[in-house]
Chain A
């Protein structure tokens, strides 16, 4: 009954994201001298930071078999709300006039993220509402609130101290890059080495089994939505620093990119599978493609298209995975289909 180590194909499939990333890096290095330079790599990381933080939050929910569509709106609301609190009223700043202390502002931003996450989790676990509906509604509501705060105006003149996270460096390392890497590392440790993290996998992999093992799925699900909200707050802080202004449209449409990065990185939409390191790979792949194509002077507009195709290809390969892994007779296929139907 002992399994033979090896079997090349499954191994390749398991590390698909890194192979893709390697291929992308190799291609771009060959076609542009400037791709493999420290500057450019740093740039890729800087561009990955906000997406990366958002992907972390989303991955927590995905691992439990949930998702959080509202994350992109939370990012927008918290960013514009934070900017609003920090700045002077009227033109040109368009702020509240409160000129709140940056630290206090950050606390408020975090609080807003947590409240949104709490509402999501509450509606899903207590009121047993469909997670798609809940987070979709929240997506719309929260974006509406973002517009409401500044009446759609862009907030400018943020205090320098606040922006540090987004555009200062520690030595040669931009703070945002350090933050996103540390965040991924922490997320990896939490999901891999804490009971909390392992509970999430168990819940996503087989909710009933998790329940029978003494895990409280509802509680954990509420917690992952809190994390998702908190991550949106962190991402908002970085984004404000990077852009220097708070626009109501920040994050609009980003949810697709977030989910794409997570999924291409191996986080399953059905829960229980994938690692945070893989998700980081997904983020890096998308950012590398952006950067590489940019250097190749491909029109910025073509980049989106290439991205979509890469995601589709990766998923196509992924869909073939099942053929090479594990016992998959017709009957088990039917059984899983049945489960999917009735579940």
Chain B
């Protein structure tokens, strides 16, 4: 490979080089980082974040986003536990004692409904997506607090907790879910007509429309996917904790965005891959785990994470200088309609 090609190559796969660099660093500085057990642990810790990132990435690809995902996680996680447990102390559930499978179905449907509502408000009523999902974030968090008066509900159902505590062979279920979901999401976005359409909507919604894509329908669908996965992540988190607090997932949306963006998903839509997003999730989680092993105070970990996001984005921002500068020129200064230097006609009449 010629040298001039190395920099673009590095920059295009930045997330994996960063991940590799981080792993090497921790491998050298700590004793047990490279233990298989530790990797499994990292994946385990990445699972809830990862599932949320998948949902968010779907909306991001279309040039949208879903702030409400963290609240949906909270509501559905709480409801999932609440519906299956006894009322009052010590478990603070609804007392309805629903079968776990039914409860899970209910929360997945609720997640999808929230997504549907987001999508409809954005596409049909033309309310700004930031405002819609922000209002939804607040509303749903309120609803979550309301349901159980802020009480933590405890789950003792093994069936329900299986998603967080169970193992398939020796592999924890969340790890399987994480990898499986990412593979499926990657396949959907890359190898199906649906995925293609999402990218085209994010890159140029009007052109997609004129090519027979139905942007509104697709956008509603991605919000439903986001809601569904947020609900699923809620189940996963509450199953892992075997309890559900009404503040579950609070503030998590920032980490979700950070992981997606650091993994190369463009905030402007139409660019990035789910595998890259997985890289983003793994990077953030690995840093957390590595610093933990180094006995770095948990309080440093957060700060260092933020710093790494910033640095990665700084590199990303410089990327444009090395890769196809013309692309940037054409993006920041679009050719005015029909007045390019070579367009050659004269309108021979006026109106």
Residues of A within 8 A of B (CB): 69, 123, 127-130, 132-134, 136-145, 147-148, 151-152, 252-253, 256-257, 259-260, 263, 269, 299-309, 311-312, 315-316, 319, 334, 337-338, 341-342
Contacts and interface: CB of A to CB of B under 8 A. Distances in A.
B290 to A, nearest CB: 16
B258 A312 contact: no
8 contacts: A69-B254, A137-B309, A143-B303, A145-B303, A311-B135, A312-B136, A312-B139, A338-B337
Contacts of B297: 148, 151
Contact of A319 (B125, B206, B267, B317): B125
A102 to B, nearest CB: 26
Contacts of A341: 204-206
B134 to A, nearest CB: 6
B313 interface: yes
B141 A260 contact: no
Given A130-B267, A140-B306, A253-B250, A308 B317 contact: no
Given A148-B297, A304-B139, A304-B142, A260 B134 contact: yes
A17 to B, nearest CB: 14
Given A299-B146, A341-B205, A308 B125 contact: no
Interface string B246-269: 100011001101100100000100
A333 to B, nearest CB: 10
Contacts of B254: 69, 136, 139-140
Contacts of A311: 131, 134-135, 138
A308 B131 contact: no
Which of B132, B204, B255, B313 has the most CB atoms of chain A within a 10 A radius of its CB? B313
Contacts of A260: 134-135, 138
Given A129-B317, A260-B138, A304-B141, A143 B302 contact: yes
A136 B260 CA distance: 13
A92 B17 CA distance: 46
Contact of B300 (A140, A148, A338): A148
B102 interface: no
Nearest to B313: A133
Contacts of A316: 121, 125, 127
Interface of B: 67, 121, 125-128, 130-132, 134-146, 149-150, 204-206, 246, 250-251, 254-255, 257-258, 261, 267, 297-307, 309-310, 313-314, 317, 331, 334, 337
B306 A139 contact: yes
Contacts of B314: 123, 127, 129
A34 to B, nearest CB: 23
B267 A309 contact: no
Contacts of B204: 341
B321 to A, nearest CB: 10
A134 B310 contact: yes
B134 A319 contact: no
Contact of A127 (B144, B317, B334): B317
B313 A137 contact: yes
A138 B313 contact: no
Contacts of A152: 298-299
Given A136-B257, A304-B139, A306-B142, A337 B206 contact: yes
B268 to A, nearest CB: 9
A2 B257 CA distance: 49
Given A137-B313, A141-B307, A312-B135, A132 B142 contact: no
A259 B305 CA distance: 25
Which of B130, B142, B331, B337 has the most CB atoms of chain A within a 10 A radius of its CB? B142
A312 B135 CA distance: 5
* Top 3 A-B pairs, shortest CB-CB distance: A308-B139, A144-B303, A304-B142
A138 B33 CA distance: 28
A316 B149 CA distance: 29
Contact of B149 (A134, A145, A257, A299): A299
A256 B141 CA distance: 12
Contact of A305 (B121, B143, B301): B143
Nearest to B147: A301
A337 B334 CA distance: 14
A140 B251 CA distance: 10
Contacts of B303: 140-145, 147-148
Contacts of A342: 331, 334
Contacts of A132: 257, 267
Nearest to B335: A342
Contact of A309 (B126, B135, B250): B135
